[in-house]
Amino acid sequence: MTAFIFSGNCTIPANITHYVSGPNTRGTLDIIWSSLSILILCVWSIQHLNLPPQWHLNLEAYYSSSEEKGKKKTPTTRRIYKMNKKIRRKGYLLNREIRWMIMNLVAPEFLLAKALTDFVSARSLSPRLKAYASEDEVDWDMAHTYYANMGGFIVRFEKDEGQLWVERGDGGGSQEDVESCRVSREHGISNSMTDQESLVGGEEENHDTMKIPTPVTSVQNMQNAIHGLMQSPAWSPNRYIERVYEFQGLTGFDWEVDSKNREAVLTALEEYPTSDMHHISLMRWYHNVCALQGNVWYLDAAQLLLVRQCGIITSLPHLPKEVLDDQSKSDSLAKTFTLIQVVWLALQLISRQTEGLPSSQMEISALSFAVCSFFTYLLMWNKPQGVEASCYITANRRPTVQEVKALGIIGPATFGPHRMRPWISNNCFHPCYRWDHAASSLRPSDFEGDLKRISRFQPGFVVGAVLFGGIHCLSWNSHFPTSAEHLLWRASCLLLTIVPPVGGMCTFLMGWIRSRLHRIGRTRATGYIANLMSLVLTLPYILTRLYLNIEVFRCLAYEPPEVFLATNWPDWLPHLG
């Protein structure tokens, strides 16, 4: 295939001139760089990641292990150990930023949905938290609520002088089990607790028989599902602890098992909260409860409000707004510049349309990212960005079993993988709740009726997906290399615009059917139907997204000459590209 390249040639003034306007043409690279600048701003600078797990060097464990191996304890070995942990932590932070950059590039509507959910949660909880802050004489505004939902406030319990692992009549573990796991994970020794006797069930674990619990239809099924999770090699509370120590061995992590909190957690898991929970909410509750086994609790805003109401902490933390702003790397000037760049692209495309000039598919695709990012930026305007240091709160007392159950119910939900470690991961979102009886009574029945989740994640995802797909329809009559590609583009735009609302309605309908069939104990069939519908709708959605991403680059090599004519006035505005 022959590649045709055209080189533009513009004359220069013969004499000194006070002002020279830009050429009335633009090149392929001009289109690429202006579009890529939008993408970079949308997928990188827009990131508002949660706080990472707090760094902690366990030098005592390192020295004790070194002495056992015959190594000498010297300042040099200490510096090497600290440097190794710092490098690993920097790698961890960079890795999560890159992963979420790719996530934003693949699904910008996900970030918009999360931003909407976080905004609604922060806005709804801020008045209640402000009331307690006024009583406690501390600063509080919406940024503090955001900071709490990001895992910024950590409740620390006093050091437990007893055993880290309390013996239980049903096969509980011992102090040596925990110390062995902690030290081995700190230094990479191959020693798995999964080879030991189950600390909960008292039976040997079988990795080949792991099963995810089926939808719960009765109190007995609920109890069986919880016990199945507690005894499974992948989901047991012991495996949860092991995962934490595995991470602690890589980067260092401020967390230790607390025997009293763990005792309350195991009791809460055995009693189970309520029978009115299907599989997803059961798994969410289970992992939120398991996260409370340690001596530090990473709580979101709803959980922080509850522990303040219950008296587990006597006061909200004192964190001045100026200190929080100083820690945040969020720059209003940078956000403003990003919005200016987005507005410039929109004006550029509008100007081309009014002058009768076609736009490239790449610019239309960049506009779809820009619009999603525009609303995402507005929703996250007050959210701290780039904060890495948490604020610790000393606990006033230990939690009761009922309080542990309540904290699990109102804890964060997740999109995708479950909350596998104590900190609040970036795929967590925070539904709103009704707090009519949350403080006065912690019986599970109260949460069934009065503590209903009001999630904005799905509506936000649908709105973002419709915006993203609908904007691609602006290239409905654009030029394509072949008629088949033109037809595929139109079909893909329609699918991107229609599938999300249809999926949302199907999810709502399945939830309504499930709630009706729950009374007669027949929810298994609806679960299978929901999974089948998700597969049928998700697969074409992913394929169309892949096609559009590839097609915008292919079309750039077959654009008509009019695409390379520049407009008159938007180029006067400051912009990148």
DSSP per residue, 257-323: B-HHHHHHHHHHHHH-S-S---HHHHHHHHHHHHTTSBSEEE--HHHHHHHHHHTSSSS-----HHH
Place of tokens 């470690």: 421
Cα gap 49→115, rounded to integer Å: 11
140 to 28, 135, 200, 299, 520: CA distances (angstroms): 50, 11, 41, 16, 47
How many residues are recorded in the chain? 577
Asked if 457 and 429 count as a contact pair (C-beta separation under 8 A), the reply is: yes
Classify 169 as helix, strand or coil. Answer: coil
Cα gap 285→280, rounded to integer Å: 9
State CA 312 to chain mean position distance: 27
Show Cβ contacts of residue 148 under 8 Å, excluding neighbours closer than 6 positions: 129, 299, 300, 301, 304
C-alpha angle 298/150/371, rounded to 5°? 160
Cα gap 423→291, rounded to integer Å: 8
C-alpha angle 269/408/50, rounded to 5°? 135
Asked if 404 and 265 count as a contact pair (C-beta separation under 8 A), the reply is: yes
Place of tokens 């919005």: 339
The torsion defined by the Cα of 433, 434, 435 and 441, in degrees rounded to 10, comes to -100
Query: Nearest-CA neighbor of 229 among 272, 262, 171, 180?
Result: 272
Asked if 410 and 303 count as a contact pair (C-beta separation under 8 A), the reply is: yes
Q: What is the pLDDT of residue 186?
A: 42
State phi, psi for 482 to the nearest 5 degrees. -135, 160
Q: What is the pLDDT of residue 532?
A: 75
State CA 353 to chain mean position distance: 38
Place of tokens 């329609």: 494
This prediction's pTM: 0.79
Classify 228 as helix, strand or coil. Answer: helix
Cα gap 304→153, rounded to integer Å: 8
- Work out whether strand 296-298 and strand 153-156 pair parallel, antiparallel, or are unpaired: antiparallel
HEC string for 386-435: CCCCCEEEECCCCCCHHHHHHHHHHCCEECCCCCCCCCCCCCEECCECCC
Bridge partners of residue 298, in order along the sequence: 154
The one-letter amino acid code at 474 reads L
Cα gap 541→491, rounded to integer Å: 11
Q: What is the pLDDT of residue 131?
A: 93
Cα gap 112→375, rounded to integer Å: 7
Neighbours of 145 (CB within 10 A): 29
Cα gap 310→298, rounded to integer Å: 17
Cα gap 309→333, rounded to integer Å: 38
Residue-by-residue pLDDT tens, the chain, 577 positions: 566 677 767 777 878 877 777 778 888 888 898 888 888 877 877 888 999 888 766 555 555 544 445 555 677 777 777 788 788 888 888 888 898 888 888 888 888 989 999 999 899 899 999 999 999 999 999 999 999 999 999 999 987 655 444 433 333 444 444 444 444 444 433 333 333 223 233 333 333 333 333 344 445 555 666 666 677 767 788 888 888 887 777 666 778 889 899 999 999 888 765 544 444 577 888 889 999 999 999 999 999 999 998 899 999 999 998 888 888 876 667 777 777 888 888 888 888 888 889 999 999 999 998 888 889 888 988 899 888 888 999 999 999 998 998 898 888 988 878 888 899 999 888 876 545 434 444 544 434 433 344 457 788 888 899 999 999 999 999 999 999 999 999 999 999 898 888 887 877 777 677 666 655 555 555 566 666 777 777 888 888 989 998 999 999 989 999 998 888 765 666 665 5
% helix, strand, coil for the chain, step of 5: 60, 5, 35
Two tokens, residue 121: 């949660």
Classify 565 as helix, strand or coil. Answer: strand
Classify 60 as helix, strand or coil. Answer: helix
CB neighbour burial string for 120-131, b if at least 16 within 10 angstroms, e if fewer: bbbebbbebbbe
Please count the CA atoms within 13 angstroms of the CA of 307 that sit on its side-chain side. 31
The one-letter amino acid code at 9 reads N
Cα gap 524→213, rounded to integer Å: 11
Direct distance between the N- and C-terminal alpha carbons of the chain, in angstroms, rounded to an integer: 30
Cα gap 47→53, rounded to integer Å: 17
Asked if 215 and 278 count as a contact pair (C-beta separation under 8 A), the reply is: yes
Q: What is the pLDDT of residue 436?
A: 41
- Work out whether strand 391-394 and strand 428-429 pair parallel, antiparallel, or are unpaired: unpaired
State phi, psi for 306 to the nearest 5 degrees. -70, -45
Q: What is the pLDDT of residue 388?
A: 86
Two tokens, residue 199: 């600390």
479: exposed, middle or buried (C-beta count within 10 Å: 0-12, 13-18, 19+)? middle
